[in-house]
Amino acid sequence: MTNTTTNPPHLTHKHTIRVRFSEVDSLQIVWHGHYIKYFEEGREAFGRAFGLSYLDVKKEGYATPIVNTNTSHKYPLHYGDMATIETSYINTEAAKLKFAYSIKNDSGQVVCTGETIQVFTSLESGEMTLVLPDFFRDWKIKHKLLNV
């Protein structure tokens, strides 16, 4: 189930998952490293919803490696739990992608929050770009995130 909202200067997308057996540890709770995977799942759903998927970026000649990740764990998730990943694009002037995440259980309780930062690198040279790629500038204009 997905739900999309736009509230400039941020764009937010919600994506619901069910905790899988392979994601819990011997304590029967989701192992902490899987929350990073949940962030990625939320980011991929966001990208599909807003036309900024990994494949869209790759088609433009760029990769977007993560350079910073932060997480804060509040409560555990368990096998079979439904969880909603809320992924918000945080608008910045820099040539980077900054996302904030909030994962809630099916009672609406926040179980984990976090943030990731990605930069644009050329697929051809591998070098990081310091200016907005044209396609990303157009994307920001389309979503009213850049005043022109």
List pLDDT tens digits, range 62-116: 999 999 999 999 999 999 999 999 999 999 999 999 999 999 999 999 999 999 9
Residue-number span of the structural domain to which 57 is assigned? 2-142
Tell me, what CATH number does 73's domain have? 3.10.129.10
Question: Would residue 21 count as lying in a domain?
Answer: yes
- Please report, for residues 25, 31, 40, 54, 90, the alpha-carbon distance to residue 5 in angstroms, rounded to integers and kept in the order given: 34, 30, 19, 20, 14
pLDDT value at residue 8 = 47
Query: How many structural domains are present in the chain?
Result: 1
Domain annotation covers residue 147: no
Contacts with 55 (C-beta within 8 Å, 6 or more apart), sequence order = none
Please report whether residue 22 resides in a domain.
yes
pTM more than 0.95:
no
The band of 147, judged by pLDDT with boundaries at 50, 70 and 90, is confident
Residues facing 12 on adjacent strands: 5, 88
Residue-wise DSSP of 42-62: HHHHHHHHHT--HHHHHHTTE
